[in-house]
């Protein structure tokens, strides 16, 4: 059988995967770990909690992929002693033998490694408690087939959305006003969506869906990223 995923070492020493069919990597070649920390943890989770110090957070991730964003979120929840309910969607789940090759947790304690494996091995399409700080619902489906009602039947309205689909030029059907409006309608007032892409078409689609969009400094190797907020009045 032809391999469709190739293991790649990125510039910060962390792994990513190269998807041969899409001719695209799962993360930045300038550093998978630093990209996830910068875009989704620092400018997503940490920024939101700094402004909204609440103890239970509802997160939706588009593109579960290798689980890097999820395990970094779980780690932060344990450090802060908060609870995160994490809904994610993935159309093509990775095999566990591929996951086991990743080096994200080489310098971490054994407990985090066990939780990472548990996250990948747990059932799809049902809520699973990984530990007291983190529960996950993994949806095996295509994003374009999901409705607002589908998501709200699974979770409370979301506080944070990690939009981590493959790049707009690789999967343009996922970066549309229609998709963003579906997600917008699942989010609380004051919630945020963060994404690594800062393309003009993405900004326009987010604004057309109702978001207030702000361009932020990007991770290493990328000038900008986007933070989009759902709110009643202009400003971010």
Cα 104 from Cα 154, distance rounded (Å): 29
Specify the residue for token string 């049902």: 126
In tens digits, what is the pLDDT along the chain, a chain of 236 residues?
Answer: 345 789 999 999 999 999 988 889 999 999 999 999 999 999 999 999 999 999 999 999 999 999 999 999 999 999 999 999 999 999 999 999 999 999 999 887 899 999 999 999 999 999 999 999 999 999 999 999 999 999 999 999 999 999 999 999 999 999 999 999 999 999 999 999 999 999 999 999 999 999 999 999 999 999 999 999 998 754 44
Report domain extents, the chain.
30-229
pTM to 2 decimal places? 0.95
CATH superfamily for 30-229 is Vaccinia Virus protein VP39 (3.40.50.150)
Specify the DSSP element, H or E, that contains 7.
Answer: strand 5-9
Per the DSSP assignment, residues forming a β-bridge with 158 are: 187
Tokens of 69: 């964003």
């Amino acid at each position: 059988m032809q391999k469709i995923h190739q293991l790649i070492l990125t510039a910060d020493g962390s792994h990513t995967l190269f998807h041969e069919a899409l001719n695209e990597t799962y993360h930045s070649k300038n550093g998978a770990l630093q990209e996830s920390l910068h875009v989704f943890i620092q400018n997503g989770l940490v920024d939101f909690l700094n402004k909204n110090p609440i103890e239970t957070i509802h997160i939706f991730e588009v593109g579960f992929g290798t689980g890097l964003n999820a395990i970094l979120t779980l780690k932060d929840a344990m450090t802060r002693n908060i609870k995160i309910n994490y809904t994610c969607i993935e159309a093509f789940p990775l095999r566990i033998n591929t996951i086991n090759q990743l080096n994200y947790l080489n310098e971490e304690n054994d407990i985090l490694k066990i939780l990472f494996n548990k996250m990948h091995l747990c059932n799809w399409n049902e809520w699973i408690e990984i530990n007291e700080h983190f529960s996950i619902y993994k949806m095996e489906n295509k994003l374009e087939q999901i409705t607002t009602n589908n998501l709200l039947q699974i979770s409370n309205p979301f506080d944070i959305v990690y939009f981590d689909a493959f790049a707009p030029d690789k999967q343009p059907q996922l970066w549309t006003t229609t998709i963003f409006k579906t997600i917008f309608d699942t989010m609380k007032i004051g919630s945020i969506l963060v994404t690594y892409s800062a393309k003009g078409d993405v900004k326009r689609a987010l604004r057309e869906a109702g978001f207030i969009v702000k361009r932020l400094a990007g991770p290493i190797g990328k000038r900008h990223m986007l933070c989009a907020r759902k709110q009643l009045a202009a400003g971010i």
